[in-house]
């Protein structure tokens, strides 16, 4: 049964959280490309590197609720991420609780309803 993608989840992070946020996003993405959610890391060279990175993805209502809940609860986020790494990414080192705590403190996570017509 396919998911009904009724919402858009948007996450904005400060640039200093880029690495850990990508690692967390790897596990939140139901597909295999979550680590690329925030795009490539951008260094100097004009224009100046960004202060923040943003990603947004269509999702179901339940996923949106879970994401908002986890963004407010580092322990819950860490448990979910650790479980996913154990199941899908056993060869990779999962984000630590400290990473998740910093993510929750620094990230802005919002969910909104989507429109599907031109």
Assess 51 for contact with another protein (CB under 8 A).
no
β-pair type (7-14, 52-59): antiparallel
Decide if residue 2 touches another protein (CB under 8 A).
yes
Among residues 87 and 116, whose Cβ is nearest to another protein?
Answer: 116
CA-to-CA separations, 20 to 54, 61, 66, 101, 107, in angstroms, rounded:
14, 25, 19, 10, 11
Distance of CA 43 to the CA centre of its chain: 21
Residue 38 tokens read as: 């925030």
| 92 scored as a contact of another protein (CB under 8 A) | no
Tokens (6 digits) for 3: 């998911």
Answer for which of 16, 39, 69, 92 binds another protein (CB under 8 A) is 39
> Residue 98: phi, psi to the nearest 5?
-65, -40
Q: Based on the shown chain and the rule CB under 8 A, indicate whether residue 19 belongs to the binding site for another protein.
A: no
Q: Give me the least distance between CB of 85 and another protein, in Å please.
A: 17
Q: Is 57 in the site for another protein (CB under 8 A)?
A: yes
Judged by the rule CB under 8 A, the positions of this chain that interact with another protein are: 2-6, 8, 10, 25, 29-34, 36-43, 45, 47, 50, 53-59, 114, 116-118
């Amino acid at each position: 049964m396919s998911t009904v993608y009724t919402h858009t989840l948007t996450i904005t992070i400060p640039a200093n959280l880029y690495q850990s946020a990508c690692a967390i996003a790897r596990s939140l993405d139901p597909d295999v490309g979550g680590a690329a959610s925030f795009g490539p890391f951008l260094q100097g060279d004009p224009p100046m590197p960004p202060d923040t990175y943003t990603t947004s993805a269509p999702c179901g209502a339940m996923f949106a609720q879970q994401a908002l809940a986890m963004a407010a609860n580092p322990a819950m986020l860490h448990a979910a991420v650790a479980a996913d790494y154990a199941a899908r990414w056993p060869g990779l080192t999962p984000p630590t609780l400290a990473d998740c705590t910093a993510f929750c403190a620094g990230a802005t996570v919002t969910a909104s309803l989507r429109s599907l017509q031109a």
